[in-house]
Homo-oligomer: A and B are copies of this chain.
Amino acid sequence: MMTLNERFKALEAENAPGQESRQDVNDLDSIVCGEKIEGVPVDFSHGDIDAFPPTPGSVEAWNKGYEMGGEQAYTQYRGSAKILKGVAERISAFTGSPVLADKELIITPGTQGALFLALGSTIESGEKVAVVEPDYFANRKLVKYFNGIIAPIPLNYQGDSSQNGPDLDCLEKTFKEGTKVFVFSTPNNPTGVVYSKDAINKIANLASFYNVTLIVDQLYSRLLYKGETYTHLCACNVLLENIITIMGPSKTESLSGFRLGVAFGTSRLIERMERLQAIVSLRAAGYNQAVLDGWLMEPEEWMKKRVSEHEAIRNDLLKVFRSAGLSVATPQAGSYLFPKLPSLKINTKLFVQLLRYQAGVIVTPGSEFGPTTRDSIRLNFSQDHQRAVAAAKRIVEMINRYQK
């Protein structure tokens, strides 16, 4: 059992996306190589919702919620029964798997909230939790915070794309050795890899056989590129006794400012998550919940356009990085790119600080996503198209300056 000091050491957030403004950059002048590189600053640490604004009608939905007054301000902890009903129907249709509105669904403060509640409701102190490397940076922190022990599962993403996905042999070995929880994102954050149908079925079968709880983060499953297919684990033909799926409107739909997420699955776990929510923050902000009334029912053309615009940015950034000789997987979904840097004269964290200081570009160091990707950087390319391309070129220029 860790002391509080140790636990909070594990929660260091200085390099987390969005926290860059709290870093101390006084000493960079002495090591800067060359002049500043001009250009409109781009913050790749998260999506730019000014470039891709929230779903049309969101503000109207919010104001409608506000007008409802007390009923909407004080919902059940798991969220407004009326809103849950609509969301359950649309999630059932989206995933192809029925969700009971009053038993199997909870509205949370963002998908971060859903992850916290899901892992807090399933990790026993001292038990092993399978975590993919690389994967969403908070997964590792959450496991440590809940006194779990990380059992690392390597993700293949840099070679032949038909081999992309988690190392399933390693996963089975880990399950066999007693791991009781497996948390992962598909589409994977930070690489954009979508788990194949075969991989999903294998995971389901292994989890069923070894009685493992699955926490599946599908935050980016709606931003799926041409020719790709998405397999919902919750809809597979295997009886899974303990599964929580997490989604939310913060990314594709640019509704992050509302802090909304949903989790659905095993009712016993949803019940636990609600109990935990009651002491964590009571509920997702009441009026904000009303914005979910428009979720998963956006105009089809609007969604299509949003996906194709992201695909165009993805393609251009891949060109910029690949022309410069960088190794980078093609994201099948989502808006993350995870290029690997060549050998530099400085470490990646310092390079990332210099990128911000010297080139006006904010990215997230690969070390946030696991110990095996310290030489990569993550970009959220949900940005203004031209500015993103220009900023990617500045990254390449910076790599040239600091390359060994």
Contacts and interface: CB of A to CB of B under 8 A. Distances in A.
A121 interface: yes
Interface string A39-60: 0000000101110010000010
**Count of chain copies:** 2
Contact of A121 (B1, B4, B75): B4
Interface string A5-27: 00010011100101101100000
Interface in A123-171: 123-125, 138, 141-142, 145
Contact of A279 (B109, B141, B258): B141
A16 to B, nearest CB: 6
A121 B282 contact: no
A8 B272 contact: yes
A227 interface: no
A285 B282 contact: no
A347 interface: no
Contacts of A63: 59
A277 to B, nearest CB: 9
A70 interface: yes
Given A110-B282, A258-B285, 19 more contacts: A1-B1, A1-B125, A11-B276, A11-B278, A13-B77, A18-B74, A18-B76, A19-B278, A46-B74, A49-B70, A59-B66, A62-B62, A112-B280, A113-B281, A141-B278, A141-B279, A142-B279, A257-B286, A257-B287
